């Protein structure tokens, strides 16, 4: 438990550091050096267009990240009927549902010390539990983080291709880039800044693929009307049309949330909270 609590503190700090490094590399290295085209007008220059795209992806990723943390499951727990007596408290500490809880998948997290309705899982990178209130923002966070990493990966590969005069037309070139770069770095033929960018390329690839895979798997569970907690506990859920399952998570204003980071104001769980 001590290791998990430590990870719950270190993981968010690690994510913020990676985000800051990515922002600095994009704004101060990739865009000025690789997307400068004097033949085009400044308004439609590739540097400006790429910078606007990166800022859009980063703003959505960071905005939804903040909303995941801000939409704390603790607020949901205040409205639950947790009951009284030592038996009910023991049920919550054991991770099971109390008799007075509103939903069968309501769960008490020991790391957060919070109650979450439609508990899905505990995310260490946000230091928060993912449930009915912040599920939509969490999926948008994973989606835009994956896209931002892909954008940074492409920009970084273009920078390395120009700096080292190499081509990535052959797929094996990217796979063999790291071992060749390590040997060149220790022989003094590669700058430390270029080596750092190469390491970031593989980090962006790993984070992007992980977030994309996690987002796709989460969407599959939503279409089925399930959560990770329900699958892990073997709970049987009532079969509903997939459109109702999507509307429960994304709400009626799903298009607005797809473009800008906003709270899930159109969902059923938000209307229940207002009541």
Structure tokens at 117: 């309705």
> Interhelix angle for 192-224 vs 2-25, to 10°?
120
Q: In sequence order, which residues have a C-beta less than 8 Å from that of residue 13 and are 6 or more positions away?
A: none
Q: Alpha-carbon distance 229 to 108, whole Å?
A: 11
Concerning whether 142 is annotated as a catalytic residue, the answer is no
> Among 44, 116, 106, which residue's Cα sits nearest to residue 74?
116
The one catalytic residue in 123, 129, 149, 211 is 123
> Among 99, 75, 78, which residue's Cα sits nearest to residue 88?
99
Are 41 and 107 a contacting pair, CB within 8 Å? no
Structure tokens at 33: 């050096």
Helix, strand, coil percentages (3-state) for the chain, rounded to 5, are 65, 5, 30
Active centre residues (catalytic)? 123
């Amino acid at each position: 438990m001590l290791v998990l609590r430590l990870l719950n503190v270190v993981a968010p700090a690690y994510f913020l550091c990676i985000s800051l490094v990515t922002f600095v590399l994009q704004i101060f290295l990739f865009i000025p050096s690789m997307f400068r085209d004097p033949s085009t007008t400044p308004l439609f220059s590739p540097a400006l267009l790429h910078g606007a795209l990166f800022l859009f992806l980063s703003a959505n990723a960071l905005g939804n990240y903040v909303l995941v943390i801000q939409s704390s499951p603790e607020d949901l727990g205040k409205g639950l009927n947790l009951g009284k007596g030592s038996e009910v408290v023991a049920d919550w500490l054991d991770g099971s549902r109390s008799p007075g809880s509103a939903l069968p998948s309501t769960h008490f997290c020991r790391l957060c010390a919070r109650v979450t309705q439609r508990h899905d899982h505990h995310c260490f990178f946000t230091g928060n539990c993912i449930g009915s209130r912040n599920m939509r923002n969490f999926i948008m966070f994973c989606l835009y983080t994956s896209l931002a990493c892909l954008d940074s990966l492409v920009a970084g590969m273009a920078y390395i291709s120009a700096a080292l005069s190499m081509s990535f037309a052959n797929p094996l070139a990217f796979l063999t880039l790291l071992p060749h770069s390590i040997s060149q770095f220790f022989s003094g033929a590669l700058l430390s800044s270029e080596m750092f960018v190469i390491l970031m390329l593989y980090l962006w690839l790993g984070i992007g693929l992980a977030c994309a895979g996690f987002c796709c798997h989460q969407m599959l569970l939503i279409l089925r009307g399930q959560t990770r907690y329900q699958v892990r506990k073997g709970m049987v859920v009532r079969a509903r049309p997939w459109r109702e399952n999507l509307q429960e998570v994304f709400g009626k204003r799903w298009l607005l949330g797809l473009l800008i980071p906003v709270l899930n104001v159109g969902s059923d769980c938000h209307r229940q909270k207002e009541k």
